[in-house]
């Protein structure tokens, strides 16, 4: 591969042919038009495995056209000058992928040598590795956390498995019990000495946290290296993103943030956010909700108040009562048992609350933010209803108006429109339900890997099972599409693909 030139903008880059010797004096008809067919807008490839094989059709209104062509590639995340590498000087290309795993821009150009008229087509080229596609299961053995990878090379159903892939790559496990995974497509750091954006996965246990490069699973930053000044206590509970490039971690109930939109960010989270101007003590719950292009909402367990945050502020955003709210947003004397997003846009969610004065009173609360206001609706959960004694919960994001929950070895659904409850699944004897989550994925360039599953994780002795259920009108299918099995207890499950850009996390 030959590096041919450095330019200041893509507009200039498209005149690549000008870099070749050209002594001709062109006098061409201005109406000449070149058409290029057969090049897709996006390609997804595996590094060192796949090839770029394309033979486009190049047409011109000049019937005597004689074309010279080139293929080039450049880094889509580069800041400053763009450097294009020429990978072929032919119309057809059959090229072995050699670039590092990330998103690149593929450029094809054709020039009529007789007239000098040129045409260019650009495509997104997403390059991944064997680690860039598959189901990741965050699991623990009671005292340490690791990661299993179930590869899915053809469709969403896995065809291979790599156990303990985190510890195999990094020669260590995380302390504590598995809790949460979070994907970030542009986490910036400098493990090689040069700052760059990484497609990264945050692994969280109740005692530790690690960020890995999804292309290699190598650790980018440990807990101690994630902060400008690492907290003295390791009790991470939440990691999520928000509007305007905000990235947030809750550790020991305190909020830390990072602005990923700043080109000068170093991947380090700043100091602890204070609650207000007088530094009132607070402790955030592990539960949160978030929506597309919105800031997350948290719950302060000390004051029984819903709060939010903004990317650049140093204090929490104190929310106020919306019109016709049924429960005070602040100082409402409630304990939060669960909270999650119901729809990403419009931004809505639900919470389950228990009264502190009378713990027998439990409420199912709807949450409708319109910053800085929050409107809370509330229905009393009757002691005779199954939801009253539920333990694990998950909301169906953007689909049916359903809340799933577990009761003993059973999975139930609750219709949030009419409050109807229905038994959905009973796990076999000897299995304990430890995890339930709804996740879905749909991407046009990745249509063969789309899914929409309610995931039910159980523990059987020292082993786990995660059953993947489809649903129809809110009812689970009779049998799962497939089941992931391994050693340990499940904390979280997430599917990663080379075309992931954002991942709306939710409980």
Question: How far is it, in rounded angstroms, from Cα 284 to Cα 309?
Answer: 12
Last residue of a domain, one of 95, 128, 161: 128
Between these two residues, 338 and 45, which has the higher pLDDT value? 338
In the predicted structure, residue 2 carries a pLDDT above the cut 80: no
Answer yes or no: are the C-beta atoms of 302 and 313 closer than 8 Å: no
> Per-residue pLDDT averaged across 36-58, rounded?
90
In the predicted structure, residue 15 carries a pLDDT above the cut 70: no
In the predicted structure, residue 11 carries a pLDDT above the cut 50: no
How many domains in the chain? Answer: 2
The token duo for 85 is 């590498």
Neighbours of 265 (CB within 10 A): 19
Confidence of residue 78 (pLDDT cuts 50, 70, 90): low
The token duo for 97 is 């992928």
State residue 248's pLDDT score: 96
Span 449-460, pLDDT tens digits: 999 999 999 999
The token duo for 259 is 């602005």
State residue 221's pLDDT score: 97
In the predicted structure, residue 22 carries a pLDDT above the cut 70: no
In the predicted structure, residue 180 carries a pLDDT above the cut 90: yes
CA distances from 349 to 125, 163, 298, 401, 436 (A): 36, 35, 12, 11, 17
Question: How far is it, in rounded angstroms, from Cα 353 to Cα 347?
Answer: 20
Question: How far is it, in rounded angstroms, from Cα 214 to Cα 101?
Answer: 9
Last residue of a domain, one of 381, 402, 426: 381
State residue 114's pLDDT score: 94
Q: Judge whether 449 lies within some domain.
A: no
Q: What is the DSSP string of 247-298?
A: EEEEETTEEEEEETT-TT--S-B-SPPBSSTT-----B-S--B--TTS--EE
Residue with the two structure tokens 């390609």: 43
Phi-psi region of 324 (alpha: psi -120 to 50; beta: other; left: phi over 0): left
Q: Judge whether 428 lies within some domain.
A: no
Q: Judge whether 112 lies within some domain.
A: yes
3 state DSSP class of 45: strand
Q: Judge whether 221 lies within some domain.
A: no
What is the maximum span of the chain, computed from C-alpha positions, in angstroms? 89
State residue 253's pLDDT score: 98
> Per-residue pLDDT averaged across 173-190, rounded?
94
* pLDDT averaged over every residue in the chain: 91
In the predicted structure, residue 79 carries a pLDDT above the cut 90: no
Confidence of residue 277 (pLDDT cuts 50, 70, 90): very high
Last residue of a domain, one of 78, 95, 128: 128
In the predicted structure, residue 115 carries a pLDDT above the cut 90: yes
Could you tell me what percent of the chain has a pLDDT over 70? 92
Phi-psi region of 331 (alpha: psi -120 to 50; beta: other; left: phi over 0): left
State residue 357's pLDDT score: 98
Angle CA(68)–CA(72)–CA(75) in degrees, nearest 5? 165
CA distances from 277 to 254, 256, 311, 315 (A): 16, 17, 18, 8
CA distances from 285 to 60, 212, 278, 282, 289 (A): 63, 25, 21, 10, 11
> Per-residue pLDDT averaged across 134-154, rounded?
95
State residue 5's pLDDT score: 33
In the predicted structure, residue 126 carries a pLDDT above the cut 50: yes
Between these two residues, 78 and 168, which has the higher pLDDT value? 168
State residue 10's pLDDT score: 40
> Per-residue pLDDT averaged across 132-153, rounded?
95
Q: Looking at residue 477, what DSSP letter applies?
A: P
CA distances from 355 to 122, 250, 330, 362, 393 (A): 58, 24, 14, 6, 19
Bridge partners of 459, per DSSP, are: 432, 464
- The closest alpha carbon to 494, from 220, 210, 134, belongs to 134
List the single range of 95-109, 111-125, 341-355, 460-474 with lowest mean pLDDT: 95-109
Question: How far is it, in rounded angstroms, from Cα 237 to Cα 284?
Answer: 9
Q: Looking at residue 8, what DSSP letter applies?
A: S
Q: Judge whether 49 lies within some domain.
A: yes
Question: How far is it, in rounded angstroms, from Cα 421 to Cα 364?
Answer: 14
Neighbours of 446 (CB within 10 A): 18
Confidence of residue 17 (pLDDT cuts 50, 70, 90): low
State residue 504's pLDDT score: 66
State residue 98's pLDDT score: 81
Answer yes or no: are the C-beta atoms of 206 and 235 closer than 8 Å: yes
> Per-residue pLDDT averaged across 240-265, rounded?
93
* Distance, C-alpha 95 to centroid of its chain: 30
List the single range of 233-237, 261-265, 334-338, 482-486 with lowest mean pLDDT: 261-265
Bridge partners of 71, per DSSP, are: 88, 108
Span 387-441, pLDDT tens digits: 999 999 999 999 999 999 999 999 999 999 999 999 999 999 999 999 999 999 8
Count of all residues that appear for the chain in the document:
507
In the predicted structure, residue 106 carries a pLDDT above the cut 70: yes
State residue 209's pLDDT score: 98
Span 319-354, pLDDT tens digits: 999 999 999 999 999 999 999 999 999 999 999 999
The token duo for 96 is 């072995």
Strands across the sheet containing 2-7:
2-7, 82-88, 67-75, 103-112, 118-128, 42-46
Q: Judge whether 255 lies within some domain.
A: no
Q: Judge whether 76 lies within some domain.
A: yes
> Per-residue pLDDT averaged across 61-82, rounded?
86
In the predicted structure, residue 25 carries a pLDDT above the cut 50: no
Span 189-232, pLDDT tens digits: 998 888 988 999 999 999 999 999 998 899 999 999 999 999 99
Question: How far is it, in rounded angstroms, from Cα 290 to Cα 269?
Answer: 20
- The closest alpha carbon to 106, from 151, 57, 52, belongs to 52
Q: Judge whether 438 lies within some domain.
A: no
Q: Which CATH number characterizes residue 28's domain? A: 2.60.40.10
Domain that holds residue 307: 273-381
State residue 415's pLDDT score: 98
State residue 23's pLDDT score: 39
> Per-residue pLDDT averaged across 477-499, rounded?
95
State residue 427's pLDDT score: 97
Bridge partners of 471, per DSSP, are: 476
């Amino acid at each position: 591969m030959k590096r041919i030139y450095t330019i200041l903008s893509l507009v200039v880059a498209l005149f690549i042919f000008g870099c070749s010797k050209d002594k001709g004096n062109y006098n061409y008809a201005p109406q000449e038009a070149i058409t290029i067919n057969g090049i897709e807008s996006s390609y997804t490839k595996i590094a060192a495995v796949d090839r770029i094989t394309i033979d486009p059709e190049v047409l011109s209104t000049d019937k005597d056209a004689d074309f010279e062509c080139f293929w080039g590639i450049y880094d889509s995340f580069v800041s400053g000058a763009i450097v294009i590498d020429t990978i072929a000087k032919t119309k057809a290309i059959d090229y072995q992928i050699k670039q590092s795993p990330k998103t690149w821009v593929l450029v094809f150009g054709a020039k009529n040598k007789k007239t000098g008229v040129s045409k260019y087509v650009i495509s997104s080229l997403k390059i991944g590795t064997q680690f860039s596609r598959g189901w990741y299961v965050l699991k623990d053995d009671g005292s340490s956390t690791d990661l299993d990878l179930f590869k899915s090379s053809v469709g969403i159903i896995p065809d291979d498995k790599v156990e303990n892939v985190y510890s195999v790559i990094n020669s260590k496990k995380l302390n504590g019990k598995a809790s949460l995974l979070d994907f970030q497509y542009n986490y910036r750091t400098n493990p090689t000495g040069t700052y760059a954006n990484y497609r990264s996965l945050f692994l969280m246990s109740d005692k530790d946290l690690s960020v890995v490069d999804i292309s290699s699973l190598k650790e980018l930053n440990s807990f101690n290296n994630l902060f400008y000044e690492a907290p003295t206590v390791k009790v991470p509970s939440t990691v999520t993103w928000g509007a305007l490039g905000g990235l947030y971690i809750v550790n020991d109930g305190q909020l830390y943030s990072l602005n990923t939109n700043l080109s000068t960010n170093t991947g380090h989270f700043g100091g602890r956010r204070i609650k207000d101007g007088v530094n009132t003590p607070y402790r955030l719950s592990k539960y949160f909700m978030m929506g597309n292009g919105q800031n997350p909402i948290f719950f302060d367990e000390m004051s029984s108040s819903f709060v939010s945050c903004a990317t650049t502020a140093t204090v929490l955003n104190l929310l106020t009562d919306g019109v016709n709210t049924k429960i005070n947003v602040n100082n409402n004397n409630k304990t939060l048992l669960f909270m999650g997003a119901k729809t990403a846009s419009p931004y809505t969610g639900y919470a389950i609350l228990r009264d502190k004065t009378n713990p027998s009173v439990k409420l199912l609360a709807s949450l409708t933010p319109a910053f800085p206001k929050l409107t809370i609706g509330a229905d009393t959960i009757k002691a005779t209803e199954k939801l009253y004694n539920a333990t694990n919960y998950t909301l169906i994001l953007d689909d049916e108006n359903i809340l799933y929950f577990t009761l003993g070895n059973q999975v139930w659904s609750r219709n949030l429109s009419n409050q109807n409850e229905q038994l959905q699944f009973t796990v076999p004897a000897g299995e304990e339900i430890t995890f339930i989550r709804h996740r879905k994925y749909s991407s046009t360039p990745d249509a063969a890997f789309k899914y929409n599953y309610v995931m039910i994780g159980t523990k059987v002795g020292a082993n786990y099972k995660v059953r993947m259920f489809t649903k129809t009108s809110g009812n689970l299918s009779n049998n799962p599409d497939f089941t992931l099995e391994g050693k340990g207890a499940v904390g979280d499950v997430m599917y990663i693909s080379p075309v992931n850009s954002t991942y709306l996390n939710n409980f």
